[in-house]
Amino acid sequence: MINNKFNLDDELLKTIAISISESVGVDFIHARKQLGTFTQNSSPTLIWDLINSNLKKRLGEDYACIYKKQRGIWEFLLIVDKKSKKVITIMRENRLRDIITHPYKNKKHYSAALALLNGALKPRQRKLLNIPLNREDNEFLQVLSRELCSEIEQNMLEESLYCILSFKSSSGAMTAFNANFLTKNLEISKVIPLNEYMPKKNYDAVVADTEKSENIQDIPLTLKPAAYIKKQAKEEMEAKEAIEIKSIQNENPAENTANGDE
C-alpha cells in the first residue's frame, strides 16, 4: 500500500521505524553490555551501526534497495523505495535541524547534495532574502550527488525526490518520526509526521543508561523484545496479585487470626 500523502510504501515506513526503535532500545543495551567498556565514548556511532545493520537485515529486495555510502570516516545508507522511486536517508532530528539552521556552514553535507533532486520543490514560507548557492558550491554538490547516486539507475533518478526520515529518541525509546523534504537551498518544503508507523510497544521500561536502572541489570542478554515484554507483564501481574492478597488480609484481620495466621 502506498501512502498517498507523499507516495512512500507503508511497509517500508513500518520496517524503518521498527529498525530504529529496536536499535536505540534493546539492541543498544545488549550490545553495550556485551562490550563492557569502562567509558561510553562510542555510544553515538554504535547506535548508528545498529540502525544500519537492522535496516540492511530487515529491508527486503521486494520494495527497497540499500547502498552503503561513505563521506570521510562516516558510513551511511542510501535507501531507494522501488515503488515510489524515492531516495531516502535516515537522520536524527536535531542533526537535521542543525544543518537547516546553518545551511551555508554545512552546505557540503551529503543531504545538501541529495537535496538537489528536490530542486523543483518550493519552501512552505518564502524568506525575505533568499541567497542561492554560489556557482562553485552548486557544481561541487552536483558532482557529489552524482557520485552518491552512481549505482542507482538513471531513469529512476529522473523521477526521484529525496526524503529524510528523521527521528527522536529518549531513554531507549523512539519518540518521534517524520518525513522531511528539502529544497536545493536546504529549506524545509514539507514535513509529514509519521508517528503512526512507530511500534506500538516502545519498550518504555528499557532505559538506555543501564547504570541508572536496576531492572535493566536483571535482563538476560538472550531475551528478545517480545520475551522481555512477556516477562515484564508476568512480573507486574504477580506483584498486583500480591498486593490484592495483602489488601484482603488487612480487611479481614479477625478471619486471619481465626485461621492461625497471626
Radius of gyration of the chain (CA): 24
Q: Which of 53, 137, 152, 143 is nearest to 103 (CA)?
A: 137
Question: What's the pLDDT at 252?
Answer: 59
**What string of DSSP letters covers 37-56?**
-SS-TTHHHHHHHHHHHHHH
Residue 213, SS3? coil
User: Which value, to the nearest 10 degrees, does the dihedral of the CA atoms of residues 128, 134, 139, 144 take?
Assistant: -60
User: What does residue 172 show for φ and ψ, rounded to 5 degrees?
Assistant: 80, 10
In this structure, what DSSP letter does residue 133 have? Answer: P
Q: Which residues pair with 173 in a beta bridge?
A: 170
pLDDT (0 to 100) of residue 248? 61
Backbone angles phi, psi at 2, to 5 degrees: -100, 135
Q: Are 179 and 163 in contact (CB under 8 A)?
A: yes
Write down the residue that cell numbers 532500545 correspond to. 25
* CB of 66 closer than 8 Å to CB of 55: yes
Cβ atoms of residues 182 and 162 within 8 Å: yes
Taking the C-alpha atoms of residue 241 and residue 219, their distance in angstroms, rounded to an integer, is: 22
Number of other residues whose CB lies within 10 A of the CB of residue 154: 9
Closest CA to 26 of 251, 160, 207, 197: 207
Q: What is the pTM of this model?
A: 0.72
Residues 6+ positions from 115 with CB-CB distance below 8 Å: 162, 182, 183, 184, 186
- For residues 97 and 91, is the Cβ–Cβ distance under 8 A? no
Amino acid at 149: C
The answer for 164, left when phi > 0, alpha when psi is -120 to 50, beta otherwise, is beta
Q: How far is Cα 140 from Cα 148, in angstroms, rounded to an integer?
A: 12
Q: What pLDDT sits at residue 245?
A: 60
Task: Give the chain's residues under pLDDT 70.
Answer: 1-6, 124-132, 201-232, 235-236, 238-262
pLDDT of residue 238: 66
Sheet of 188-193, strands arranged across:
64-71, 74-81, 87-92, 162-170, 173-182, 188-193
- At 32 the pLDDT is 81
